[in-house]
Amino acid sequence: MMRVLLIDDEELSLEVMEIMLHKIPNIEIVGKYNNPIEALKDLGEVQVDVIFLDMEMPGMHGLEFAEKVMGKHSDIEVLFVTAYPQFALEAFEVNAIDYLLKPVSMMRLQKAINKIEEKLALYQTREQLADQSKSILRSYFMVSFQLIDYQNNEVKWRTKKVKELFAFLWHNGKNPIHKSLIIEELWPDKQAEKAVSLLHTTIYQLRKTLKEIGVENPITLINDHYKLSVQLEADVLELQEIIQSDSLDSKKVERVIELYSGDYLENDDFIWSIQHQQELKQEVLRYLQKFVVSSKYEKDYTKLVGVCLDKMFVLNPYDDMIMYQLLEYYCELNNTRKVKEVFQVITHRLKDELGVSIPTNIVELKNNYFNKF
């Protein structure tokens, strides 16, 4: 049974829509309102699947009403019914499920109802699959952000801002984030009123996206603070767990190199992620350096030490110590080709790119190696 709420300031329009809906099976009208403000107050007291909403109403415009619903009731669909076709674009911008133009024909109404039923059935199916899977969502934050659903499919985001909002809320972990901070980070160039509207719409779209993959009540709002409550397996969490431990097991070192395929959210250009991106890189470098120093003279780890040094050279290409260590590593292996290759890269980066001299200890290391021959 689909539970429908009707809101229209014209009594005749309400009665006509009620009569038409009664002709369609499995429809229950749970309320009728001429005043949108009263409807909004009562919304939490009644179970609703879809709101049939007029656009032009005294006291509150339909678009404003829809945005307020989106901010508090992500499980409710909104369908606009209006005599003004110029509002069609705005209706879909706030993610309304459909748009009906007065006078509404029975055929067009039935088509809209079918569309809503399909969407509600999809939600129910996704929820059941999520319950059956007994798993949690997987995510990738290294290089680019990706979210993998319970059926092992990549989640498609409605907009880039919806994707960024999810990543931002998750990035802040268990800390509820005030809406003003979210606006400051995601919409710093927007005027206050527009930014608040964008926040409400994006929160609504994020809730809808997560609901479609079977996640219920993913976002809580308390005292203007938003918090994401979604369990995730994340590559960055696994990475942090390893590098913050005291273990230098070779398998874990290999896993760190595998996980760190690129910087944290490197390709997403989220300004708020830059500080953590740099901090995480430095933690990884310290971990790999610790392994290199502790395993330098252990033959079993000779190859892995080289892999670590190569990785460090990529992550921090202008660090004198890493340059020296990598060159020394290939000198000790008597790998003349790699000694020449590494020294050429050092020369290009320092002299050609930066216009600075190569450190004396690096030049001496290279010269001493070739003087042996």
Domain edges within the chain: 2-132, 137-230, 317-373
Q: Residue 208: how many CB atoms within 10 A of its CB?
A: 19
pLDDT at position 66: 81
2-132 and 137-230 have identical folds: no
Which of 87-101, 156-170, 218-232 is least confident? 87-101
Q: Are 146 and 139 in contact (CB under 8 A)?
A: yes
Q: Are strands 77-82 and 225-228 parallel, antiparallel or unpaired?
A: unpaired
Q: Band the pLDDT of 191: cuts 50, 70, 90.
A: very high
Q: Which pair of structure tokens corresponds to residue 324?
A: 């020296």
Q: Band the pLDDT of 133: cuts 50, 70, 90.
A: low
pLDDT at position 312: 97
- Mapping DSSP onto H, E and C, the string for 220-245 reads EEECCEEEECCCEEEHHHHHHHHHCC
Residue 130 has pLDDT above 60, yes or no: no
Classify the C-alpha dihedral 89-49-220-171 as positive or negative.
negative
pLDDT in tens, 284-342: 999 999 999 988 777 777 899 999 999 999 999 999 999 999 999 999 999 999 999 99
pLDDT at position 126: 64
Please state the rounded mean pLDDT for residues 167-193. Answer: 93
Please state the rounded mean pLDDT for residues 187-214. Answer: 89
pLDDT at position 356: 93
Which of 51-60, 62-71, 248-257, 299-308 is least confident? 62-71
Q: Band the pLDDT of 214: cuts 50, 70, 90.
A: confident
- Mapping DSSP onto H, E and C, the string for the chain reads CEEEEEECCCHHHHHHHHHHHHCCCCEEEEEEECCHHHHHHHHHHCCCCEEEECCCCCCCCHHHHHHHHHHHCCCCEEEEEECCHHHHHHHHHCCCCEEEECCCCHHHHHHHHHHHHHHHHHHHHHHHHHHHHCCCEEEECECCCEEECCCCCECCCCCHHHHHHHHHHHHCCCCCEEHHHHHHHHCCCCCHHHHHHHHHHHHHHHHHHHHHCCCCCCEEEECCEEEECCCEEEHHHHHHHHHCCCCCCHHHHHHHHHHCCCCECHHHCCHHHHHHHHHHHHHHHHHHHHHHHHHCCCHHHHHHHHHHHHHHHHHCCCCHHHHHHHHHHHHHCCCHHHHHHHHHHHHHHHHHHHCCCCCHHHHHHHHHHHHCC
pLDDT at position 8: 92
Please state the rounded mean pLDDT for residues 25-34. Answer: 93
pLDDT at position 361: 95
CATH number for 137-230: choose from 3.40.720.10, 1.10.10.10, 3.40.50.300, 3.40.50.920.
1.10.10.10
pLDDT at position 231: 87
Give residue 138's Cα distance to chain centre: 12
Q: Band the pLDDT of 32: cuts 50, 70, 90.
A: very high
Please state the rounded mean pLDDT for residues 182-198. Answer: 92
pLDDT at position 169: 96
Mean model confidence pLDDT for the chain: 89
pLDDT at position 17: 93
pLDDT in tens, 226-271: 999 888 999 999 999 999 987 888 999 999 999 999 999 999 989 9
Fold of 2-132: Rossmann fold (3.40.50)
First-residue to last-residue Cα distance in the chain: 87
Residue 15 has pLDDT above 80, yes or no: yes
Residue 212 has pLDDT above 70, yes or no: yes
**149: β partners:** none
Q: Band the pLDDT of 346: cuts 50, 70, 90.
A: very high
Taking the C-alpha atoms of residue 227 and residue 291, their distance in angstroms, rounded to an integer, is 38
Q: Residue 49: how many CB atoms within 10 A of its CB?
A: 20
Report which of 60, 62, 58, 68 is spatially closest to residue 80, judged by C-alpha positions: 62
Residue 96 — φ and ψ, nearest 5°? -65, 145
Report which of 145, 146, 152, 115 is spatially closest to residue 130, judged by C-alpha positions: 152
Among 88-92, 118-122, 339-343, name the most confident range. Answer: 339-343
Q: Band the pLDDT of 28: cuts 50, 70, 90.
A: very high
Residue 297 — φ and ψ, nearest 5°? -105, 15
Please state the rounded mean pLDDT for residues 119-148. Answer: 78
Between 166 and 1, whose confidence is greater? 166
